Amino acid sequence: MRGPGGVTALVMGELAAGGVAFLFLAPLWHEVKPGFFKLTGVVVLFVVTGAWASAGAGLVEGSQAGQWSQRLAGALAVVTLVWVTLLFVRQPGPARAVGMASVPLSIAVLVAMAGTADESPVVSFLQLLAGAAFLGAVMDGLLLGHWYLTDRGLSRGPINRSTSFLIVAVLLEGAAVVAGGFGPTRATSDFNPLLTSAGLASWIALGMVGATALIAVLIRASLKGPRASAVQAATGFFYLAVITALTAEFAAKVRFLR
């Protein structure tokens, strides 16, 4: 995959994979009401559909990895639609089973996407995995923060855990950006030359990771307050984290597809 379409496919694929993993691998099923899974599922469905379409837009002719990225992203969109639909027709058991099955499928999407990079597929996969954890923690925290407005009796456990995930994910993402290297990359008319010839993309990514780290600290500090407004403040910070995290990933993936 190449160009803006390829970059968008990578970032949307990471976001979908991270969102699904945090949703079904964390103990949320026994903590929140089914409505939260419906909300997150609909968001993931839109994101993975975007990844599917973007993979097609950025597909390079003859690229097996790119073709598999598109196919698996499409399969993940279909599976996501199935478990979300099952939730809406009040079939939580089958919905959870299908949702759990979507987790390894989302990892398979990242494996295929790793093959589109010019670097080692193993290193590229680890970078995508770090990005998925990074973006997934941000999305999970933002949606949870909003969910507290509808479920007043929900304990602080889920959002505190999501904040801890974000702090760890920031460290992983920082390491992934550094591992991607710095300096100029192959010039292309698809992107601003400052991002390629001057190697600015990696520095932007690292700066935004640092900004997200600061926001994560502020979220943790906000949640120490006993009032309900503490969660509202944390949710506001998660909004900022979405902006900085997505900026970091888009910049990092410009270099990823060099």
Whose tokens are 């970078």? That residue is 127
Long-range CB contacts (within 8 A, 24+) of 117-120 = 117/256, 117/257, 118/257, 118/258
Predicted local distance difference test score (pLDDT) of residue 189: 47
Q: What's the confidence (pLDDT) of residue 93?
A: 92
**pLDDT per position as a tens digit, 219-257:** 999 998 888 788 889 999 999 999 999 999 988 887 766
Task: Of 151, 197, 128, give the one whose Cα is nearest residue 35.
Answer: 151
In this prediction, residue 251 carries a pLDDT of 84
The separation between the first and the last C-alpha atoms of the chain, rounded to the nearest angstrom, is: 10
**CATH code that applies to domain 3-256:** 1.20.1630
72/241 Cα distance (integer angstroms): 28
Residue 118 in contact with residue 258, Cβ under 8 Å? yes
Calculate what percentage of the chain has a pLDDT beyond 70: 91
**Pick from 78-92, 187-201, 208-222, 242-256: least confident:** 187-201
Average model confidence (pLDDT) for the chain?
Answer: 87
In the block, residue with structure tokens 């099952």: 86
What digits encode the pLDDT tens for the residues 56-77?
Answer: 887 777 778 888 889 999 999 9
Segment 192-199 mean pLDDT: 55
- 106-155 per-position pLDDT tens digit: 999 999 998 888 777 888 899 999 999 999 999 999 999 889 888 888 88
